[in-house]
Each structure stands twice: as C-alpha cells, then as structure tokens.
Structure 1
C-alpha cells in the first residue's frame, strides 16, 4: 500500500507580503524606542576621538564662572566646561594669577592690571548673556584641562557660530589655549586662521581689550 505524499504548505504571495510588513513594523517600532532612550552617560576618562553632543544644556550660576569657563547642567548632571581656542582675561585677582594677568595684559598691547580685570569682567558678562538668553549645543570630547575637573568644549549657538569666535570678535579673548578639529570637520589650523581675522576686526574697531 503506497503512502500518500504529504504536501508541503505553500505560502501565497499575500502571506509573504504580510510577513514583510510585520518585519518592517517591528524595525520602525525599535527605532521609536531608541529615539526615546536617554543619552548614554558622559565619559570622564581619556579624551574620545569623536564629539559627544549635549542638547538642551543650561548654564548654572556659580561664582567661578567667567568668560571661557562655566558650569552647565545636562540631564541632571553638572559639568564644568572650558572653551577651546579662547582665553579670556581673569575677572578677579587672586594669589595665583598675577603672572597670568600680566601675560594677558601684554597680549592686548600692554593693558594695566585694572584694565585687564575690567576686560575679564566684560567677557564674563558677555558669555553669561549669550548662555542665558539663547539655546546652545555643547560638543565635547571630554578632554581634561590638566587636573582641574574641567573639560574642553565648543558651545555652538543656533546661528552656527561658537562662543569662542564671538568672544574673539568682541576683543574679549585671546587666541591662546588648546585647539582641536571642529565638530563640522574644519581643521584646527583653518579655524585659528578664521579667529585671527576676527581678532583683526576687533583690533581695527577697537573693541574690548583693543580699545584705547
């Protein structure tokens, strides 16, 4: 007695279509879940090769904030950031920054200490105004500033310009500290050249530290 062959089930075209639609829906659902996941915890070890981006950060009032260094809060954590490329004059004298004040005054053509401090206070007010009145995005590689607990960063505003460039244009910072390739891919050398042009503009217009 011969056995009947069992027919293998055949998938009709509509079955395959339904299968692919289910897969696509699952992928889309996974993407939606990923969108709502919190950003990973920031790293605080060695500098990373790529920038970590902080959206929606806000400046935190602190007596140590100045023109190029300040505290920002992001997702419940407070970070102390230091700008790349720009070094603002000190805003107050202490037992450790006398030589630094002299160096900063010489950079701007030989400012007296009181005048240098005044420019530092102006830089602080300028940076505070931008950071409190406009949204900004932080780009950092978590590159440490010596052992100070601070990390270098770019602060970029909706107009596409970062705070370092704005400070240099106003004559409130010297082009002096650590630099790096920018988040948009511009090299450090190219960006420094652009800052030199802004500095010349400030000097010609006699702004900030370049004022007579």
Structure 2
C-alpha cells in the first residue's frame, strides 16, 4: 500500500488555511452596502425623484419604489387599504375590512382592494411626489413606514380616504411639517365622513342583503 507523503499533506493544509485567511481578509475589508438607519423620532429623510417599481406585492398602501440606485418597500402611515387577494394569513383582516365598510362580502372587499391598488399606482405614475421617511420598520419585515406628498400639497393617505378606498387603521406619526399625529388623524376622520356620506369607493358598494327569515 502506498503511503501518503507527510510533507505533501502538510503543504496542502497550509495552502487551504492561507486561502481561507485571504477570503476572510477580503470580506472584512471590501466595501459593503449599508442599510438605511432609522432616524430619531420627529426627523424625516426626504426622498425626491423616486419612482414606482412594478411589483406583484404592490397594493394600495404598500409599494416598492426606486431611489438613488436602490429599491425600498414603503408602507403608508395611518391607513390600511383592503387586501387585493385572499389567502390564509389575511382571512381575519379581510373580515375586519369588510365589516369596517358596513358588512361587505369577501369578493366585494377584494374588489375594493384592487381599486385601491390601481388608484395608488396611477397617482404614483402620473403625479410628481416626494417621500418622507424615518426608515421605521414595519414589525420585522423589509417594509418601512413613509409619508407620500404630492405637488398639490396633499398626502396619499388623505387621497385614499377621500376616495373611500381605505380604513383609518394602522400606526400614525407626527407629520414632517410638525403637525401632531392626532390633528392629522382628525383631518382623516373628517375626510372619511365626507367620503362615506357621498358613498365613494367601498362606501358605495351595495351591501349584502340580510338573509330572509325562514317561514
């Protein structure tokens, strides 16, 4: 039986360890991309010249944007648009959303979700907008909360409420202009009362007829 040469085996091990050391050194010193850091409360970062990225995950209140060579998934403060599709994890949410608008059916609330998605996408594609964010994470997801402002001075959250395509239901914040969270929510409630009175969006969808009593 041929025996392995001890010197050759030792040299192979030395070569392996040297290769590992070189790789580790390269990884340590190479330039790595840095994730955006959350800003202290009250301090917003302004993102101009962002654009909407077509993505299957986009919906009325959450969407992907491209800015300065990177991509971010944003989630609006204050509002929650109906889901656009049905799956196990959102069953409870769909029922809550349907109930919020006066007792819609699941297909009806899903249709409202599709309308909200189209509404937001059309605005972000056709209008100039600015994003204000503190890079505050939505739970442990990759999404970050944000405020979207258009050149007409209006906020996307308000536009969605005015269109009757969302409920006022999620985390709020002090606004970039210093407006208190509760004052902004008061504006949203006023806009919602008007949308409801004029039966806009989901408020105007005919409700399910109550079941007829059995004879």
Match of residue 52, structure 2, among 59, 62, 71: 59
Q: Distance in 2 between matches of 1:111 and 1:193?
A: 25
5 Å matches for 1:43-82?
44-49=36-41, 50-82=43-75
TM-score, reference length from structure 1: 0.79
Q: Distance in 1 between matches of 2:143 and 2:44?
A: 16
Measure how far apart 1:67 and its partner are: 0.1
Partners of 1:47 and 1:144 within 8 A in 2? no
Measure how far apart 1:95 and its partner are: 2.0
5 Å matches for 1:120-159?
120-159=113-152
**Deviations along 1:68-125, whole A, 9 cap, x unmatched?**
0000000010000000001000001112111100000011111110000000000000
5 Å matches for 1:113-124?
113-124=106-117
Q: 1:181 to 1:106 in 2, by over 3 A?
A: same
TM-score, reference length from structure 2: 0.78
Q: What value does the CA root-mean-square deviation take over the aligned residues?
A: 1.3
In structure 2, the partner of 1:207 is: 200
Q: Alignment partner of 1:151: what SS? A: strand
Partners of 1:48 and 1:142 within 8 A in 2? no
Moved over 2 A (4+): 41-49
Partners of 1:88 and 1:120 within 8 A in 2? yes
In structure 2, the partner of 1:23 is: none
Q: Distance in 2 between matches of 1:104 and 1:47?
A: 32
Q: Alignment partner of 2:72: what SS? A: strand
Q: Distance in 2 between matches of 1:65 and 1:93?
A: 15
Q: Alignment partner of 1:96: what SS? A: helix
Number of aligned pairs? 172
Partners of 1:86 and 1:176 within 8 A in 2? yes
Partners of 1:181 and 1:187 within 8 A in 2? yes
Q: Alignment partner of 1:147: what SS? A: coil
Q: Alignment partner of 2:89: what SS? A: coil
- Corresponding position: 1:92 with 2:85: yes
Measure how far apart 1:42 and its partner are: 8.1
